[in-house]
């Protein structure tokens, strides 16, 4: 039975069930009490939306035409986001698992149990025996609180966040090259760029509303170069599609740099005045002729030359990337190789010239700024820097010797759980059984814990393994700020009270701290009070929020950090005059191509890559419960090229077994010419036996510690299934993820 207990009972009680109508049904005669301007809870475009509230219930949305980023636009997740608020699966009271069943408990009972267990484990095994695993879909106030809770509340070094699976390669690359971790340009710059180079980003499905800016650029006569192993909708719409082999980005970027140097398209004045370490990079690029790059990447040499010329000759250009290049054991190097192109052409720090990381989670940017990362303190300060430690301890009033040392990344934390070094875990805002690589290992880690407590508003596949589940709030039930992917800090507003006995996450965390005798560090009465401390804690750091206030955000439609003083308007465009290294210069990094940790061989001849679909958000704990979204994409599938399918005698729609060194899963085949013949693709939003992550490789990038989700070796086996039984269930509205 294991730690989950009775799975059928859990699914029956907590879902995912499908829900597809507003509270009280579809009605035209609503009396709307108030319209609350806020932002979407999902991706980091952080689209503005208005929530319609009737009698303390969110019953619909109205486009927020006056918010400049999206001007009313939303993707299907955003349109249906409000349906999660009064979903029948919502967790309404604390739960304690007894004899394999979750039983209703009072808050006092549950919180006292958590505090007692944490104290007991720490007394027996030391402070570091408890880990905290947080997330970036929380407001920035909460992410700040989670870091502080781990360090000042529990005194453990082990805290990390799910941006580790998302943004860390970009963050590390940015810090190395620019000395700061933030997208360099506001999106208003995109329409001004002649050429966009977009690598490893299926914007159409993962970041739909960004397409507003992309098409404005197109309407202005702009061109797109898209680097992606799949012909995604974005790649299809682009002018030049470089359909490379997964994980070969360094070779491609170096090949393009080679051509740019050969043809004299570099900006020597910019390189001389504003950068360091060019010579070494130039030498490395000299070896990557288009032919060599072509052999490694599988992209025709002529196309590499064409792309280099298009990018290199543009008077203005922007480079953007996302997980496709970052989810690799060479993730940071991939990022650096593209940044080299930006710096070599001097295309940064001006209107229409720049660089941007496309953030995954709603607060993927804000969540990586204020100290819930293993090695980070608020304001993008470092745990390793004595000055930084001293400053933050001063703000917190914490004796410096009590501040733990830097911890380790989440995948490493899960290793320490299996080794018994971490005995207890508090998690919030994540779903480890879907989103961490190598699901079977993750299960062993959770099974090995002495005590696991989850804060969540739906029972996720990960929470099922918990001993205590504490009901938190959805985004509409609390206020706070998030930072979108362009560095714009926006304000989430409260629309309704939490249902049942659900409580604000910051209240829950503080109550645990109080019961552990650490109340003096956790006396906040509102998100605003947390924000006020965060402003001071970030002051003077790279991510300086000191001059930001809730009122300024409302007044300006968001404030771009750094914003050091109260009369400072914020900083939409970075690097206009200087970079953030002490000498003010950016740094080139000479990077060599290294293949992914696992390459195809006779036993596992295909490259498996993973990603998202537009209808589901991350681990799907929210979106797999919304009828409309599940109907559009009820279950994962495996994309196979027709040539490969023919060789394996696999028909479209046939269920096949996909096997890697770590696990296997059965998925229907989607035979499409839009993927490379040597590559297969599975979307990852599902758990248990539908999890793509049963197969993926947990090997980490040595710098960023991001796992290699985007390339591992796999094979396909025929299982002689009948053609899809998918339709019948789909028509009945049953989510495949719950059919056993």
Partner 1 sequence: MEETMFIDPQRCIGCRSCVAACRECGTHKGYSMIYVDYLDRAETTATMPTVCMHCTEPTCALVCPADAIKMSEEGIVMSALKPRCLDCRNCVNACPFGVPKYNTEMHLQMKCDMCYDRSSEGLMPMCASVCPTGAIAFGKYEQIVPLRRTKPVNVHVFGNQHVETKVYLMLPTDADAVEVDGCGVFEGMLQRPAEERQTPTVESWIDTQVEHSDKSNEF
Query: Which parts of this chain interact with partner 1 (CB under 8 A)?
Result: 21, 25-28, 30, 60-61, 63, 65, 72-76, 78-80, 204-205, 208-212, 214-215, 218-219, 221, 231-234, 236-237, 614-615, 628, 631-632, 642-643, 645-646, 652-653, 668, 670-674, 723-724, 726-727, 730-731
Q: Is the Cβ of residue 206 or residue 248 nearer to partner 1 in the bound state?
A: 206
Write down the least CB distance from residue 672 to partner 1, Å: 6
User: Closest approach of Cβ 253 to partner 1, in Å?
Assistant: 25
Between helices 249-262 and 278-287, what is the axis angle to 10°?
A: 100
Smallest distance, partner 1 to C-beta of residue 730, A? 7
SS3 content of the chain, % helix, strand, coil (to 5): 35, 20, 45
Q: Which residues lie below 8 Å from residue 434, measured CB to CB, with a gap of 6+?
A: 460, 461, 462, 618, 619, 620, 621, 684, 685, 686, 687, 691, 693
Task: Write down the least CB distance from residue 650 to partner 1, Å.
Answer: 11
Cβ burial of 302 (10 Å; 0-12, 13-18, 19+) is exposed
> Do 500 and 104 meet the contact criterion of CB atoms below 8 Å apart?
no
Q: What is the C-alpha to C-alpha distance for residues 385 and 396, in angstroms, rounded to an integer?
A: 17
Q: Tell me whether residue 274 or residue 488 sits nearer to partner 1 (CB atom).
A: 488
What is the SS3 string spanning 194-261? CEEEEECCCHHHHCHHHHHHHHHHHHCCCEEEEECCECCHHHHHCCEEECCCCCCHHHHHHHHHHHHH
Residue 158 CA to residue 58 CA, distance in Å, equals 37
Task: Give the Cα-Cα-Cα angle 83, 84, 86 (nearest 5 degrees).
Answer: 85
Nearest distance from residue 496's CB to partner 1, in Å? 18
* CB of 247 vs partner 1, minimal distance in Å: 22
Closest to partner 1 by CB, 10 vs 44, is: 44
Residue 480 or 636 having the CB closest to partner 1: 636
| Cβ closest to partner 1, residue 68 vs residue 72 | 72
Is residue 277 within 8 Å of residue 587, measured between CB atoms? Answer: yes
Strand order in the sheet with 223-227: 240-242, 223-227, 195-199, 317-321, 354-357
Of 567 and 720, CB closest to partner 1: 720
Residue 103, number of CB atoms within 10 A of its CB: 10
Minimum CB–partner distance for residue 671 and partner 1 (Å): 6
Nearer to partner 1, 227 or 671 (CB): 671
Q: Shortest gap between Cβ of 62 and partner 1 (angstroms)?
A: 8
Largest CA distance in the chain: 71
Identity of the residue, 727 or 739, whose beta carbon is nearer to partner 1 in the bound complex: 727
Least distance (Å) from partner 1 to the CB of residue 70?
8
Return the H-helix or E-strand segment holding 665: strand 664-671
Residue 249 Cβ vs partner 1, minimum distance, rounded to whole Å: 22
Contact 223, 313 (CB under 8 A): no
Tokens of 574: 């970075």
C-beta of 6 vs 674, nearer to partner 1: 674
Q: Using alpha carbons, select from 228, 247, 407, 399 the residue that is nearest to residue 320.
A: 228
**CB neighbours of residue 266 within 10 Å:** 20
Nearer of residues 61 and 457 to partner 1, judged by Cβ: 61
Tokens of 647: 């060789």
Of residues 557 and 632, the one with the C-beta less far from partner 1: 632
How many Å apart are CA 554 and CA 406, to the nearest integer?
Answer: 36
Q: In sequence order, which residues have a C-beta less than 8 Å from that of residue 174 and are 6 or more positions away?
A: 180, 181, 182, 335, 339, 357
We find the least distance from the C-beta atom of residue 84 to partner 1, in angstroms, to be 14
Token pair of 153, please? Answer: 């509340």
Residue 193 or 563: which CB sits closer to partner 1?
193
Nearest distance, CB of residue 324 and partner 1, angstroms: 16
Closest to 177 in 3D by CA, of 704, 580, 541: 580
């Amino acid at each position: 039975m294991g730690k989950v207990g009775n799975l059928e009972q859990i699914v029956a009680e907590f879902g995912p069930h499908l829900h597809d109508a507003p509270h009280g049904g579809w009605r035209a005669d609503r009396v709307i009490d108030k319209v609350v301007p806020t932002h979407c809870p999902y991706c980091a475009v952080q689209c503005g939306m208005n929530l319609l509230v009737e009698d303390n219930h969110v019953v619909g949305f109205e486009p927020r035409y006056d918010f400049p980023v999206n001007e009313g636009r939303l993707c299907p997740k955003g349109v249906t986001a409000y349906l999660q608020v009064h979903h029948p699966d919502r967790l309404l009271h604390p739960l304690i698992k007894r004899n394999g069943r979750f039983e209703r408990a009072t808050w006092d009972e549950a919180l006292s149990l958590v505090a007692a267990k944490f104290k007991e484990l720490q007394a027996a095994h030391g402070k570091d025996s408890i880990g905290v695993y947080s997330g970036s879909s929380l407001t920035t106030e909460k992410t700040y609180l989670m870091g502080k809770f781990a360090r000042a509340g529990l005194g453990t070094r082990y805290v990390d966040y799910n941006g580790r699976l998302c943004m860390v390669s970009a963050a590390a690359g940015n810090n190395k090259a620019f000395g700061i971790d933030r997208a360099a340009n506001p999106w208003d710059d995109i329409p001004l760029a002649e050429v966009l180079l977009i690598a490893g980003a299926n914007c159409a499905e993962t970041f739909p509303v960004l397409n507003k800016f992309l098409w404005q650029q197109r309407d202005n006569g702009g061109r797109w170069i898209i680097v992606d192993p799949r012909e995604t909708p974005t790649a299809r719409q682009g002018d030049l599609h470089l359909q490379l082999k997964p994980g070969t980005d360094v070779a491609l970027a170096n090949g393009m740099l080679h051509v740019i140097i050969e043809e004299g398209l570099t900006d020597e004045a910019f390189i001389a005045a504003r950068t360091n370490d060019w010579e070494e990079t130039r030498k490395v690029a000299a070896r990557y002729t288009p032919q060599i790059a072509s052999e490694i990447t599988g992209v025709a040499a002529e196309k590499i030359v064409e792309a280099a010329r298009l990018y290199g000759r543009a008077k203005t250009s922007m480079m953007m990337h996302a997980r496709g290049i970052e989810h690799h054991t060479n993730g940071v190097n991939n990022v650096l190789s593209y940044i080299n192109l930006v710096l070599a052409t001097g295309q940064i720090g001006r209107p229409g010239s720049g660089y941007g990381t496309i953030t995954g989670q709603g607060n993927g940017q804000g969540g990586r700024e204020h100290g819930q990362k293993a090695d980070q303190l608020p304001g993008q300060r470092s745990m390793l820097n004595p000055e930084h430690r001293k400053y933050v301890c001063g703000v917190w009033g914490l004796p410096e010797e009590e501040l733990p040392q830097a911890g380790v990344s989440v995948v490493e934390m899960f290793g320490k759980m299996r080794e018994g070094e971490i005995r207890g875990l508090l998690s919030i805002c994540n779903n480890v059984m879907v989103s961490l690589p190598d699901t079977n290992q993750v299960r062993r880690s959770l099974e090995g814990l002495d005590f696991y407590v989850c804060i969540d508003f739906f029972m996720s596949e990960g929470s099922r393994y918990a001993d205590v589940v504490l009901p938190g709030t959805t985004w509409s039930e609390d206020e706070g700020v998030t930072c979108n992917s362009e560095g714009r800090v926006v304000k989430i507003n409260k629309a309704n009270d939490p249902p049942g006995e659900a409580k604000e996450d910051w209240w829950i965390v503080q109550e645990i701290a109080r019961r552990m005798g650490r109340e003096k560090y956790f006396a906040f009465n509102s998100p605003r009070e947390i924000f006020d401390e965060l402003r001071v804690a970030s002051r003077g750091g790279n991510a300086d929020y000191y001059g930001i206030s809730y009122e300024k955000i409302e007044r300006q439609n968001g404030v771009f950090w750094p914003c050091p003083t109260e009369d400072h308007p914020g900083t939409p465009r970075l690097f206009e005059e200087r970079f953030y290294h002490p000498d003010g210069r950016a740094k080139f990094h000479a990077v060599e191509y290294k293949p992914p940790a696992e390459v195809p061989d006779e036993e596992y001849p295909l490259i498996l890559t993973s990603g998202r679909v537009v209808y589901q958000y991350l681990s799907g704990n929210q979106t797999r419960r919304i009828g409309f979204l599940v109907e559009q994409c009820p279950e994962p599938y495996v994309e196979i090229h027709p040539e490969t399918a023919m060789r394996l005698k696999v028909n479209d729609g046939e269920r096949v077994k996909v096997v890697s060194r770590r696990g296997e899963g059965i998925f229907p085949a989607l035979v499409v010419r839009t993927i490379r013949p040597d590559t297969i693709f599975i979307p990852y939003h599902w758990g248990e036996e539908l999890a793509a992550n049963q197969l993926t490789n947990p090997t980490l990038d040595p710098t960023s510690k991001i796992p290699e989700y985007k390339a591992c070796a796999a094979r396909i086996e025929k299982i002689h299934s009948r053609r899809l039984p998918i339709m019948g269930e789909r028509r009945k509205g049953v989510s495949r993820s719950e059919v056993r």
